[in-house]
Amino acid sequence: MSEEQEHVKCLIIGSGPAGYTAAIYAARADLKPVLYTGMLAGGQLTQTTDVDNFPGYPKGIMGPEMMEDFRIQAERFGTDIRFGYVSSVDFSSMPHKVVVDESKTILADTVIISTGASAKWLGLDSEHKYNGFGVSACAVCDGFFFRGQDVAIVGAGDTAAEEATYLAKLCRKVYMLVRRDEFRASKAMVHRVQHTPNIEIVYNTETKEIVGNGQNVTGVRVWNNQTNEEKVLDVTGFFVAIGHTPNTGIFKGQINMDETGYIITHPDSTQTNIEGVFACGDAQDHIFRQAITAAGTGCMAALEAERYLAGKEHVITVE
């Protein structure tokens, strides 16, 4: 542990809609929150272009601009926002010990974890090049922009199947690219996909390259791993649905998580199994993964942290 220490009432780990919303509520409750942004200040939305489905922005807004609005609002109420990353934690005693940038120890009465999750990508250069310009990891977020167009989605699990059927309601045709000769999804989801007329399932197929004109996606080059045949599908949108990885590695062994690393919270709560530690946003939500739901749980975490501290301040000892 570092010799440099600081004691705070409320420490928020991670930014994005969950972290910034928690900061707004915590600051207004006079918890004087300190927020460390992580290495990607603003979270996943800073890598998103148009956001059209967040209430309060009737004309839509760019993801980075929206996160800047969140940051400004959090600072307006007194949140101490710092750029830095949490390198280790020790939740075995109170106050909780959190080491930042491997150099400073924060002693926190309450900790709100809002570290989010990262989409898994195929790792193609062209995928990175057209990310936000036809390539997306969220059909619910971006499907609207491809209304009446042909798109492709890669994945074989429940999420991929669900997003494919969602896209089918908006798009003219959906190519579903499945790497093997079978799905990993549940039978119910497979049945739904197979009985959606405008979804074409392409088995034994892998993505070789996202094709574009330098500005937008115009197609996807695919390869059949059984016949070695290559072809280009004419699509204007390419969706990746191969899963997400929660950014919770530093908490392993200290907080209860599911088998994939999502933090488990109490029912109808953001409280973890550790007293005074709360989790919100995509770090604990593997189902919805939307900015609006992340913000909602950020609000919950701050309110619960406030109530927790209030309870500690007003403990009545009975003789």
Check 10, 109, 138, 150 and give the catalytic one: 138
Residue 10: active-site member: no
Check 10, 80, 109, 142 and give the catalytic one: 142
Strands 205-212 and 199-202: what pairing? unpaired
- Work out the burial of residue 197: count CB atoms within 10 Å of its CB; fewer than 13 is exposed, 13-18 middle, 19 or more buried: exposed
Residue 50: active-site member: no
CA dihedral 128, 210, 260, 24 (to 10 degrees): 40
Q: Residue 68, SS3?
A: helix
Residue 141: active-site member: yes
Q: Residue 105, SS3?
A: strand
Please tell me what DSSP assigns to residue 94.
S
| C-alpha torsion sign, points 178, 129, 165, 159 | positive
Query: How far is CA 29 from each of CA 6, 114, 201, rounded to the nearest angstrom?
Result: 20, 19, 52
Check 10, 141, 171, 280 and give the catalytic one: 141
Residues 135 and 220: their CA atoms lie apart, in Å, by 10
Residues with catalytic function: 138, 141-142
